[in-house]
Amino acid sequence: MRELRSICLGILLVLGAFRLTISHEDQPLSKIAIHKAVFALDDNAYIKASPSILGMKGQNSDWLTVEYNSPNPSVGDWIGVFSPSNFSSSTCPAENPRVYPPLLCSAPIKFQYANYSSPQYKSTGKGSLKLQLINQRSDFSFVLFTNGLLNPKVVAVSNKVTFTNPNAPVYPRLAQGKVWNEMTVTWTSGYGINEAEPFVEWGPKGGDRTYSPAGTLTFGRGSMCGAPARTVGWRDPGYIHTGFLRELWPNAMYTYKLGHRLFNGTYIWSSEYQFKASPYPGQDSLQQVIIFGDMGKDEADGSNEYNNFQRGSLNTTRQLIQDLKNIDIVFHIGDICYANGYISQWDQFTAQIEPIASTVPYMIARFFLWKHGFWWRMRCAG
């Protein structure tokens, strides 16, 4: 095999990648003692979200406004976003039949304090938030809590909100295949193989299209190691599909779409994406490689702030998107998104990196450190 002589330009974005991550404190959602929540519904309180239908233009993320009012406001009041919208004890698994399940057993997918953008909330009892939601295969509801995060009380529950098609194929992630002229495409949807056949429609830009079937995987609560992933952090991950695009021409531009053919003959499509195939092995060429680690994730609406430093995650993502025309491949060295057992955060991470991962190969790796005669693996619990 000829020696690969491509010149690699490595841009190292220093995010504390090569150190043990003992300074990251707790996952924000773990600060909420949701299992201690009790109902204290107040007829004079309300919370409502609008619009009730998101993604009307086919987008997989959208903004909405949440308005709320409490007759007894306090600085500890907060808004929780739940998905699925049904979060009562009826959804709690019976892990121990001798113990009554908690009233609520699912952590919110995000939260924010009621006075975040309404500084007069404590005196007026009225407030509003602008929140960004992503398509996560289910509907949403919003809850106004009082009494802080450790002993929360449910004051009001909102109307339900949903995307036009919660099951739609979303968040494609490219990866370099096992051979130089192969690319893999992985995405998430709400369609199992008993409902639809997943595939990729693809071809040279402006040329003929072909179809490649995709495999489907998922996992259940029982495959998680323990709490919180098996308890309050559990959320159905949907279905993960992977298709293989083979015999690519070197340096050629390709376009692709994700598809699902329902058994009633209906086709469900994603948006169209594009990528550039790899160069010839041994070809003298400039390959611009981005290498970074420990990026984490963050919310554009300011919710779920992680230790007051995850803004760097959005800044990094935005810079990569801005420079995307000058990037050939990305290596993200774990840790990845710091989900730490809260499954919903993985959807939010893949949504955050979609503009990058749908266009260039986004390769995930783990970092090992030799210390005191032992291999220490970087913590990669999410």
Q: Is the dihedral of CA 173, 256, 167, 240 positive or negative?
A: negative
Residue 115 and residue 122 in contact, taking contact as beta carbons nearer than 8 Å: yes
Which CATH superfamily hosts domain 170-364? Purple acid phosphatase-like, N-terminal (2.60.40.380)
> Residue 21 and residue 177: Cα distance in Å, rounded?
30
Name beta bridge partners: 245. 183
Band the pLDDT of 286: cuts 50, 70, 90: confident
* pTM to 2 decimal places: 0.86
Band the pLDDT of 305: cuts 50, 70, 90: low
Long-range CB contacts (within 8 A, 24+) of 41-45: 41/154, 41/155, 41/156, 41/157, 42/70, 42/71, 42/72, 42/155, 42/156, 44/69, 44/71, 45/69, 45/70, 45/71, 45/144, 45/155, 45/156
Window from 19-33, 60-74, 123-137 with minimum mean pLDDT:
19-33
Q: Which two tokens stand for residue 79?
A: 């808004």
* Res 102 pLDDT > 50: yes
Window from 29-38, 179-188, 352-361 with minimum mean pLDDT:
29-38
> Residue 244 and residue 334: Cα distance in Å, rounded?
24
Residue 366 and residue 190 in contact, taking contact as beta carbons nearer than 8 Å: no
Name beta bridge partners: 254. 204, 275
DSSP per-residue letters across 26-81: --GGGG--GGG-EE---TT-EEEEE-SEE-TTS-SEEEEEEEEE-SS--TT-EEEE
Structural domain boundaries in the chain: 46-163, 170-364
Mean pLDDT of 122-143: 96
Q: Which two tokens stand for residue 123?
A: 């005196």
If DSSP codes are grouped into helix, strand and coil, which group holds residue 197? Answer: strand
Q: Which two tokens stand for residue 25?
A: 């404190």
Say which CATH topology domain 46-163 has.
Answer: Immunoglobulin-like (2.60.40)
Burial of 40-63, coded b for 16+ CB within 10 Å and e otherwise, reads: eebeebebbbeeeebbeeeebbbe
Q: What are the pLDDT digits (tens) for 255-283? A: 999 999 999 999 999 999 999 999 888 87
Name, in order, each residue with C-beta under 8 angstroms of 216's C-beta and a sequence gap of 6 or more: 192, 193, 198, 239, 240, 241
Residue 82 and residue 143 in contact, taking contact as beta carbons nearer than 8 Å: yes
Q: Which two tokens stand for residue 61?
A: 């993320």
Closest Cα to residue 2, out of 251, 246, 283, 278? 283
* Res 203 pLDDT > 70: yes
